[in-house]
Amino acid sequence: DAGVIQSPRHEVTEMGQEVTLRCKPISGHDYLFWYRQTMMRGLELLIYFNNNVPIDDSGMPEDRFSAKMPNASFSTLKIQPSEPRDSAVYFCASSLSYGGAGYEQYFGPGTRLTVT
Amino acid sequence: GQQVMQIPQYQHVQEGEDFTTYCNSSTTLSNIQWYKQRPGGHPVFLIQLVKSGEVKKQKRLTFQFGEAKKNSSLHITATQTTDVGTYFCAGPTSGTYKYIFGTGTRLKVLA
């Protein structure tokens, strides 16, 4: 398996522009997570899906952020309009649930977003 | 809300020295996971602990889950330059699959 795929790997945009980050989870995984990583705030969970349904979006910073998962093999995270404080590395991760005891998350390579 | 803290924040060691990072949760955890992130890379799953007092080993790495299931540790014996990176613990919010990641410990190994 190719692992979790994210695109683009790097994105530089100007303040006010719309940004769309894409993720393809590992085939067969039923959970998908979007994280944001910054030096100041560390690794933060933004939102996660189970079987394409958003379960918890309490980590989404504000209404400028939205995420969708139209099918089991694709998810997007959109920021509109973007602001300089959105600059961070955004990771997508997927996992396969089992037995209620927990699961390991497989992270994608991340998208480094710079908003100028 | 639930918080997961790690100490130390940074650690520099000479190659061959031992290293330990500690993870403390504000709430009892059903399980705890450990991840490693190399510089410029993404987090990679290392291990999961589930039972109170559980100890697991992976070659030079020893992981322990506290008796009260609120703390954990990772110990590396005889560090190597390949151990460089940031080590994160992560624990789930009660009753959910929402994992809260710790603040991380950045390890630097001096050759």
Distance CA B34, CA B74 (A): 8
Task: Render pLDDT for B63-108 as a digit per residue (tens, 0 to 9).
Answer: 999 999 999 999 999 999 999 999 999 998 877 778 899 999 999 9
Confidence of residue A100 (pLDDT cuts 50, 70, 90): low
The partner residue sitting opposite A91, judged by closest CB among B42, B96, B98, is B42
Q: Strands A10-13, A111-115: parallel, antiparallel or unpaired by DSSP? A: parallel
- What is the SS3 string spanning A3-63? CCEEECCEEEECCCCCEEEEEECCCCCCEEEEEEEECCCEEEEEEEEECCEEEECCCCCCC
pLDDT of residue A103: 79
Q: How confident is the model at residue A13 (pLDDT cuts 50, 70, 90)?
A: very high
Query: What pLDDT, on the 0 to 100 scale, is given for residue A34?
Result: 97
Please tell me the distance from the alpha carbon of residue B52 to that of residue B100, in angstroms, as a whole number.
Answer: 19
Q: Tell me if A104 and B88 make a contact (CB, 8 A cut-off).
A: no
Residue of A nearest to B47 (CA): A104
Query: Which of A38, A43, A55 would you mutate first to test chain B, the one with the most B CBs within 10 A?
Result: A43
Are the C-beta atoms of residues A48 and A34 closer than 8 Å to each other?
A: yes
Higher pLDDT, B94 or B35: B35
Residue A55 confidence (pLDDT) above 60: yes
- Structure confidence at residue A116 (pLDDT): 97
**CB A101 within 8 Å of CB A89:** no
Q: What is the pLDDT of residue A2?
A: 82
pLDDT score of B53 more than 70: yes
How far is the alpha carbon of B70 from chain A, nearest alpha carbon, in Å?
Answer: 16
Q: Which of A105, A111, A112 to mutate to test the interface with B (most CBs of B within 10 A)?
A: A105
Q: What is the reported pLDDT for A1?
A: 66
Minimum distance, in Å, between the CA of residue A108 and any CA atom of chain B: 7
In this predicted model, what pLDDT tens digit does every residue of A56-82 receive, in sequence order? 999 998 899 999 999 999 999 999 999
Q: Does A56 touch chain B (CB under 8 A)?
A: yes
